[in-house]
Chains A and B, each alone.
Chain A
Amino acid sequence: MNVLEIKNLYKKFGAQEVLTGLELNVPEHAVYGFIGQNGAGKTTTMKMILGLLPKDSGTINVCGETVNYGQTRTNRYIGYLPDVPEFYNFMNTTEYLRLCGDITGMDKRGITVKSDELLELVGLQDVKKKRIGGFSRGMKQRLGIAQALLNEPKLLICDEPTSALDPVGRKEILDILQAVKDKTTVLFSTHILSDVERICDQIAILNNGKIAQQGTLAEIKEKHVVDCLKIEFHTEAEREAFRRLFEDEKVRQAECPDARTILLHSTQIADTQLKVLEMLYKRQLMPAVLELEEPTLESLFLEVVG
């Protein structure tokens, strides 16, 4: 069953079209990576799922129920972690979780038990009596996950949960998200691709207001076998000489990391390899490094949005 289904979703802000017919299906118990550049419409989409923004047209279903703007009943299935979660600074962790529990209609005992369990999970057990005002960003993010998971949601929506954190904080958040995947479905927006590769089962790449690619990481990589051949020369002059002479319509030259290197993307990498070797031999050029690189999510992403 799909926890989240979005059909033909449109959204405009003034003259700017943000979403143009977005379709998205998120199956149960997946960690779903929602990838796109800054400003691609990730946050807009998430806010519409939560009923915080009105949609222009299209339908959003959460656990089979339709989402309405403003007051939406579907939010009882959802836990939400905003990109920069804000809490009441004058409260301590326990008090805040109690407030959240009361609002979702949990009983007193349930709140206490669940709060302790979640604070343990996110590693805030030691500071549960401290005021939130003194928390670091990473701690707030972890508290954000705890409050989002309090009512055992079927769908956990995280809006760029790791973007503002240092490497240690990022690792902690990713570990937590990994750990909760048995209990809930995680929809997780980001533009940090290494995070996606670490924890996501499935991904969707948002581009120009539509989902450009959707599926498991392996599937998408397979569909877009864009292998990459890296050729590094000893001098810039050699590289320039090679660049001028080499032509192949199946090959796309990617941006080079430095002045002595060329990256070639190709769908038929074996052919390209032969051609390159042949030409290197003909011109008597000796590369320092000739290397076949695995397709990465980054190359895939750049190809999709490029």
Chain B
Amino acid sequence: MKTYLAFTKKELLEYTRTYKLFLMVIIFLGFGFMNPVTAKYTPELIAGFMPEGMSVEIAEPTILDSWSQFFSNIPQLGLIIMVIVFSGLMANEFSKGTLVNILTKGMRREAVILAKFTSASLIWTVSYLVSFVVTLLYSKLFWSDTGVANLAMAVGCVWLFGILLLSSLLLGGILFRSSYGSLLFVGVLVVVMFVLNVLQTIAEYVPIRLVSVNMELLRGSIGASEVYAAVGITIGLTVVFIVISMVVFNRKRL
């Protein structure tokens, strides 16, 4: 436990000193701010740029437009940035050989995996939370009618999907020892999930559902219970990835 905490501390110090934490928070803060602002002012901007005499009916923006921005920016750009930032999670340690000292001091290899997973998850959680809170606060400021259905579920789904991606980055890094390997592994995983998602019969269980049905959840056209299956599968898959990472890493030559 002590070694796990010490290594987690080292990871967090690394993210701070190499500006990765800073980068993540700033980018997600930017997203958080952009979501409500673009939703609110895009119609006005479009109206301003229209040639004179032309008028287009644009519906008054609502808070749903703000969330719609949130759920298109974060799962697309946000997750891609996160994956790139964390792609060196294992690869840097492998390529530099920095783990040799640590492991020959009796650090358990499982603890290395867990510490890396925890610290990366923590940074993802903080960045995502910043984005969410800023979007929420601005939205409350811009609109008086702020009621949406299943907000916690919709937001939590994206977070959970991010966690799944982190665990697959970890496994990819351990299998292929390089950041390209990590990225490729995650890329292939996402493509496979998209393909499976097309099949109507199993679409309900595919983790990608967590980042594709968020607006339907908010509008209340589907209930929270309709993503439970995908949530379960995602949690299961994350655990499986972490366990495989540990098993493979234990047999890995340094």
Mark A residues whose CB is within 8 Å of B.
50, 52-53, 70-71, 73, 75-76, 78, 80, 82, 84-88, 90-91, 95, 99-100, 102-105, 144, 147, 151
Contact = CB atoms under 8 A, between A and B. Distances in A.
The interface residues of chain B, by DSSP majority, are classed as helix
Contacts of B225: none
B13 A90 contact: yes
B177 to A, nearest CB: 15
21 contacts: A50-B104, A52-B254, A71-B250, A75-B104, A76-B106, A78-B104, A80-B100, A82-B100, A82-B101, A86-B97, A87-B101, A88-B14, A91-B10, A91-B13, A91-B17, A99-B6, A99-B7, A102-B5, A103-B3, A103-B6, A104-B106
B98 interface: yes
Nearest to B5: A102
Interface of B: 2-3, 5-7, 9-10, 13-14, 17-18, 96-98, 100-109, 250-251, 253-254
B14 A90 contact: yes
B17 A90 contact: yes
Contact of A105 (B2, B13, B98, B103): B2
Contacts of B103: 52, 75
Contacts of A144: 101
A100 B106 CA distance: 10
Nearest to B3: A103
Contacts of A87: 98, 101
B108 A52 contact: no
A240 B9 CA distance: 71
A86 B106 contact: no
A102 B2 contact: yes
A77 to B, nearest CB: 10
B225 to A, nearest CB: 43
A171 to B, nearest CB: 24
B13 A86 contact: no
Contacts of B2: 102, 105
Contact of B105 (A82, A88, A95, A100): A100
A99 B6 CA distance: 6
Contacts of B97: 82, 84, 86
Contact of A99 (B10, B100, B104, B251): B10
Contacts of B98: 86-88
Given A75-B103, A90-B17, A91-B17, 8 more contacts: A70-B250, A73-B106, A88-B10, A90-B13, A100-B102, A100-B105, A103-B3, A105-B3
A157 to B, nearest CB: 9
Contacts of A100: 101-102, 105
A102 B8 CA distance: 12
A104 B105 contact: yes
Given A52-B253, A71-B250, A87-B98, A103 B105 contact: yes
Contacts of A105: 2-3, 106
B101 A80 contact: yes
B1 to A, nearest CB: 11
Best-surrounded residue of A75, A84, A103 (most CB of chain B within 10 A): A103
Contact of A70 (B6, B106, B251): B251
